[in-house]
Amino acid sequence: MGWLAPEMLWALLGLPVPLFLYVWAWRRRKKIVIHFSSLRLLKAAQVPGHAWRIHMPAFLIWLIFGLGLIALARPTAEISLPTDYRKLVIAMDVSRSMLARDVEPSRIEAAQAAVRDFIGKLPNDVRAGIVSFAGTAQVVQTITEDREALLAAVDRFELQRATATGSGLLFSLSLLRPDLAIDLEQAIYAPSAVNWPAPSAPASDRHAAIILLSDGRRTTGPDPIEIAQRAADLGIKVHTVAFGTEHGVIPGYEGYSFFVKVDQETLKAVAQITGGQYFYAASADELKAAYSGLQSKLSLETRRTEISFVALSAMLILALVAILISRARIVLTGRGTRANQAS
């Protein structure tokens, strides 16, 4: 739980004061000697029933006061709420490191299989596009509802040298937000010189998201951390999947092999900056599980939400209970008085 106005919680320190004053006043009242003219009058003044009926309304009012202070502090909690994604871009790393066979049959084949399965399970009202990136990035499939076109795009992946993760993010942003008219060439070589729009609220564009899969460290192109910040400024989440093991190798020149380790740190940072989810998969099964987790994100998403309404609702219920108890006490007192007078 969090608080949007935590300074109001200091007021809770004064909450015992009215309770102390009530107890003090009640005890002082009991010490006052009242002279009654007759025993009959004393009986008529007595309230029938248990003592809790006398004190409960005051106690409930005290609780209402405390809940009011909590509501003023504006509590928040992480709640699973329905999402409303309408557009997705799947950004796929197609660098030569995806040839590594530390994941059977190979990283690229396992990734293609997982993406095909993911596309096949997309909700009907979600449109998707595909971007691939290696030394450069390219749009393999523009955003469409045509699942067959998306599946065919996955089959068209061609592996290349180098890894330009930042370029993949840039092309994905451009595909999601064509209205921005991003100058991709300038953005790739001088992203700070691009006239980006003013920052939006975090994850404010709840209709669009990017799903980025990569297995290696950036070797060329713009810094993905900087581009992730631009995505965050636009309110677009980037969910990232790191794929592969620490022991992946690919064949090089003259019989040499090269280790291709997974860059988890960068992908974690990209997801964190944009408010997205990070997944790590070291096998084909884990990759499918990661995409299944992403699938659930398309229907339900955990968001930090203000829950002051809970305290306000409790205040209303307690107020109604206090009124009912007070009315019942008045009715019972009247009946008791009439019964004593009749006797």
- From the list 79, 81, 68, the residue with the least C-alpha distance to 5 is 68
Q: Worst-scoring range by mean pLDDT, 151-160, 179-188, 331-340?
A: 331-340
Whole-model pTM over 0.75: no
Exposure string of 50-76, with b = 16+ CB inside 10 Å and e = fewer, is eeebeebbbebebbbebbebbbebbbb
Q: Are 4 and 306 in contact (CB under 8 A)?
A: yes
**84 compared with 213, residue with greater pLDDT:** 213
Q: Which two tokens stand for residue 184?
A: 């991709």
Q: What is the dihedral of CA 327, 329, 330, 334, to 10 degrees?
A: 140
* CATH 3.10.180.10 fits domain 84-298: no
Distances (CA, A) of 142 to 20, 121, 126: 69, 19, 13
pLDDT tens string 81-105: 555 568 999 999 999 889 888 888 9
pLDDT tens string 239-251: 999 998 877 767 6
Q: Are 305 and 82 in contact (CB under 8 A)?
A: no
Whether the predicted pLDDT of 106 surpasses 80: yes
Taking all residues of the chain, what is their mean pLDDT, rounded to a whole number?
83
Q: What is the dihedral of CA 32, 37, 39, 42, to 10 degrees?
A: -50
Q: Tell me, what's the pLDDT at 255?
A: 55
Peptide bond into 178 cis (omega under 30): no
Distance CA 199, CA 182 (A): 15
- From the list 262, 263, 296, 290, the residue with the least C-alpha distance to 278 is 290
Distance CA 178, CA 157 (A): 23
**DSSP designation for 201:** S
Distance CA 209, CA 270 (A): 13
Q: Which amino acid is at 220?
A: T
Whether the predicted pLDDT of 75 surpasses 50: yes
Q: Are 125 and 138 in contact (CB under 8 A)?
A: no
Boundaries of every domain in the chain:
2-77+314-342, 84-298
pLDDT tens string 5-63: 889 889 989 888 888 888 888 777 666 545 444 545 445 445 555 566 677 888 888 99
